Amino acid sequence: MKHKWMITIFLCFLLGSCAFAAEEERKAALEDVNMDLVSEALGHLIVRHLQTPGIQFNVDRIVKGIKDEKEGKPSPLSEEEYEQSIAQIQESIFLQTAEKNLSEANSFLEKNSKEEDVISLDPKLQYRVLSQGKGDEVSGESIPLIHYTGKLLNGTVFASSRETDAPITLPIKQTIPGFNKGLVGMKEGEKRVLYIHPEMAYGVAGHLPPNSLLIFEVEIVKANVPAEEEPMAALTE
């Protein structure tokens, strides 16, 4: 029994020593950190994250707010008033962006329609053939297997099957109108670039910037295959 107590006491001492050593290491590690530099770096990060398009925050007033809060002074706005103000700003930016994007979409399609190799299926839907295909055609009832890359007018890629080199299947009927109409008639092996006006895409809904003109490069791998995968969200209504 005496030996068991000795072992228990030794283990407690050992664990206590380890904990003490770990605590000392933590303290030593903190002593090596310059909190003035960390605090200054935090200020840079805050300002960097405040650089939201369309919103011009007053950095001096932000600093004032931080100091006032530290001193226990009241905020000039309640949290509810602050949230309402931010919502108003965001709505204004949204509407401005939608108007700007719609204007750019209209201008682009008008200019693009004059290109020699561009075909207009609709005033708001155009395409260019990159390579001809042969064999079966995609119909309005098809579930084609495709490779695609979707871009915004500024070249930003928002979705692509090329990233994983895995083509997808999707029921034509469930896609956005411009994609639906643009794929019908394509043959296996054919590649097209579709130019889709926002009114035949997502308009002001969805996860993309409002009234975005969409540009899809599409290749038909198979004109019609059994549905094995859910349609990609970026292409459906």
The CATH number for 161's domain is 3.10.50.40
Q: Say if residue 58 is in the same domain as residue 124.
A: no
d(CA 95, CA 173): 30
pLDDT at residue number 7: 46
Q: Quick check: is 228 in a domain? A: no
Q: Quick check: is 14 in a domain? A: yes
Among 15-19, 117-121, 187-191, name the one with the lowest average pLDDT: 15-19
Which of 70, 97, 120 lies at the terminal end of a domain, its last residue? 70
pLDDT at residue number 230: 45
Instruction: Write the pLDDT tens digit of every residue in 108-167.
Output: 999 999 999 999 999 999 999 999 999 899 999 999 999 999 999 999 999 999 888 889
Q: Say if residue 30 is in the same domain as residue 120.
A: no
Question: For residue 87, how many C-alpha atoms fall within 13 Å in the half-sphere facing its CB?
Answer: 6
Q: Quick check: is 164 in a domain? A: yes
pLDDT at residue number 154: 95
Q: Say if residue 51 is in the same domain as residue 157.
A: no
Average pLDDT of the residues in 183-200: 96
- The rounded mean pLDDT for the chain is 85
- Domain range for 42 is 2-70
Total number of domains in the chain: 2
User: Per DSSP, what are the bridge partners of residue 128?
Assistant: 118, 193
Residue 40's pLDDT band, with cuts at 50, 70 and 90, is confident
Q: Say if residue 132 is in the same domain as residue 50.
A: no
Provide the sign of the torsion angle of the four alpha carbons 225, 190, 212, 139, taken in this order: negative
In the predicted structure, residue 6 carries a pLDDT above the cut 50: no
CA dist 18 → 15, 22, 31, 45, 112 (Å): 5, 6, 20, 37, 72
pLDDT at residue number 80: 94
Q: Say if residue 63 is in the same domain as residue 113.
A: no
